[in-house]
Amino acid sequence: MRRTVAQLADGREIIYFDADPAAPTRGASDTRDLPPYQPASEMRRDPLSGEWVAIAAHRQSRTYKPPADLCPLCPSTADRPTEIPEADYDVVVFQNRFPSFGTPPGVPVPVGDERAATVLAGVDGGSLVPSRPAVGRCEVVCFTSDHDTSFAQLTPARARTVVDAWADRTAALAATPGVEEVFCFENRGEQIGVTLHHPHGQIYGYPFVTPRTARLQAQAERHHASHGRPLLGDVLDAERAAGTRVVAENEHWTAFVPAAARWPVEVQLVPRRQVADLPALTSDERDAFVPLYLDLLGRLDRLHDQPLPYVAGWHQAPVRADRERSWLRLEVFSVLRGPDRLKYLAGSESGMAVWIGDVLPERVAQRLRELG
């Protein structure tokens, strides 16, 4: 794979990933007149939960549901420059122009105990709600230059390039000062909240370990302390032994519906070998992931005879904390509980985080097996 790094007109980084080393040289310039890139997000800590919340008011002005001929993720043309200066591309990654987390160029990022000194006076001038700049990094990943397709329709070779790009960016963001966790994900479908229909995903470099990951890590630590074994490894063994919720598998990966699934459609893709993150996957494991994932996405689209809206996100180990208990997995879930029915997060889920499943996990797994 060939990796080419360039800059956009406002100073943001853009990286081209080409599977063919003989692909055209990536040297097109961004001709737009853009102001310098200066992300201005803020973080405030909720005094009741202790969780950080990003305040990114500038995102209100981001591009919203443009027509296909004005898509900012399509290749540039002579009369319409976009976020990607090239006339064509394989896979491309660039810094988000409207980031939730972002470090302004040239600004030093404190780490460790130094962060305490960066806490501002706090909201309303007090100390009850601490505040500080939301440093970190948000990137956009375009899977293909073809606007009218989806990840499920990628060739295996192109999907493999995406996997390598995810791993490359995970390693790079993990080495970025201030980043504590890296999350690669794809939102697909307007029902999920997608505002740009070009096939793409995102990568977040968070300046903290996310609340969900912290809870999962704590649960894994308790299980290991009691049983001396990795929690997800025991879950994987149990699912494979039962078989009732396994959708598909191969030598290196198993896809199954969790026994306590929260969403109407929810599938976990788990490698057989315990690895902390995407960069740790071997070439064989990356090769084996691609056909299984493409097959799963095809089944999901056939489930209700329509393109399934979904979120697909990689759960990776935090950059520095508790990596030895982590086990990489991809979680895919959908809000669609029927051909014309959405699951809305109502009082119990939204208010108290107590989930009520709408469908039987075993039935979902059976249907997905039948659709293979």
Tens-place pLDDT, residues 202-244: 999 999 999 999 999 999 999 999 999 999 999 999 999 999 9
CATH of the domain at 123: 3.30.428.10
Whether residue 189 sits in one domain with residue 102: yes
Per-residue H/E/C for the chain: CEEEEEECCCCCEEEEEECCCCCCCCCCCCCCCCCCCCCCCEEEECCCCCCEEEECHHHHHCCCCCCHHHCCCCECECCECCCECCCCCCEEEEECCCCCCCCCCCCCCCCHHHHHHHCCCCHHHCCCCCEEECCCEEEEEECCCCCCCCHHHCCHHHHHHHHHHHHHHHHHHHCCCCCCEEEEEEEECCCCCCCCCCCEEEEEEECCCCHHHHHHHHHHHHHHHHHCCCHHHHHHHHHHHHCCCEEEECCCEEEECCCCCCCCEEEEEEECCCCCCHHHCCHHHHHHHHHHHHHHHHHHHHHCCCCCCEEEEEECCCCCCCHHHCCCEEEEEECEEECCEECCCCHHHHHHCCCCCCCCHHHHHHHHHHCC
What pLDDT, on a 0 to 100 scale, did the predictor assign at position 80? 96
Mean pLDDT, residues 314-335 taken together: 95
Same domain? For 221 and 200 the reply is no
Q: Does residue 78 sit in the same domain as residue 203?
A: yes
Residue 320 has pLDDT above 60, yes or no: yes
- pLDDT at site 22: 87
Q: pLDDT class for 24, splitting at 50, 70, 90?
A: confident
**Single-letter residue type at 134:** A
Q: Which strands sit side by side in the sheet containing 42-45, from one edge to the other?
A: 52-55, 42-45, 131-133
Q: How many domains does the chain have?
A: 2
182 and 216 belong to one structural domain: no
CA distances from 236 to 21, 117, 220, 242, 329 (A): 38, 43, 14, 10, 11
Catalytic annotation, pick one of 197, 198, 200, 252: 200
Identify the residue with better confidence: 107 or 333. 333
Domain match, 274 and 360 both: yes
Name the residue range of residue 339's domain: 212-370
Check whether residue 344 and residue 248 sit in a common domain. Answer: yes
- The average confidence (pLDDT) of the chain is 94
Q: pLDDT for 52-99, tens place per residue?
A: 999 988 777 677 788 889 999 999 999 999 999 999 999 999 999 999
More confident residue, 344 or 278: 278
Note whether 9 and 83 are within 8 A (CB): no
Identify which has the larger pLDDT, 275 or 111.
275
Residue 195 is encoded by which pair of tokens? 């505002």
What's the pLDDT tens digit per position in 122-179? 888 888 999 988 999 999 999 999 999 999 999 999 999 999 999 999 999 999 999 9
Please check whether residue 39 is in contact with residue 59, taking contact to mean a CB–CB distance below 8 angstroms.
no
Q: Are residues 21 and 119 in the same domain?
A: yes
Percentage of the chain surpassing pLDDT 70? Answer: 96
**200 included as an active-site residue:** yes
Give the model's confidence band at 348: pLDDT under 50 very low, under 70 low, under 90 confident, else very high.
Answer: very high
Q: Which of 208, 240, 273 is the last residue of a domain?
A: 208
Q: For residue 53, what are the CA distances in angstroms to 79, 138, 172?
A: 40, 15, 24
* Mean pLDDT score, 15-21: 95
Confidence bin at 16 (pLDDT 50/70/90): very high
Least confident of 34-48, 112-126, 229-243: 112-126
Q: What is the mean pLDDT of residues 260-271?
A: 98
- pLDDT of amino acid 181: 98
| pTM: predicted TM-score of the whole model, two decimal places | 0.95
Q: Is residue 152 located within the same domain as residue 217?
A: no
Mean pLDDT calculated for residue range 251-269: 98
- Average pLDDT on 334-339 reads 94
Mark whether 356 and 234 lie in a shared domain: yes
Residue that terminates a domain, selected from 208, 231, 262: 208
Residues 216 and 347 in one domain: yes
- At 112, the pLDDT band (50, 70, 90 cuts) reads low
Q: Domain boundary at 185, 208, 231, which? A: 208
Beta-strand relationship, 13-18 and 341-342: unpaired
Q: Same domain, yes or no, for 250 and 295?
A: yes
Residue 295: pLDDT over 80: yes
346 and 254 within one domain: yes
Q: How far apart are CA 116 and CA 282, in angstroms?
A: 39
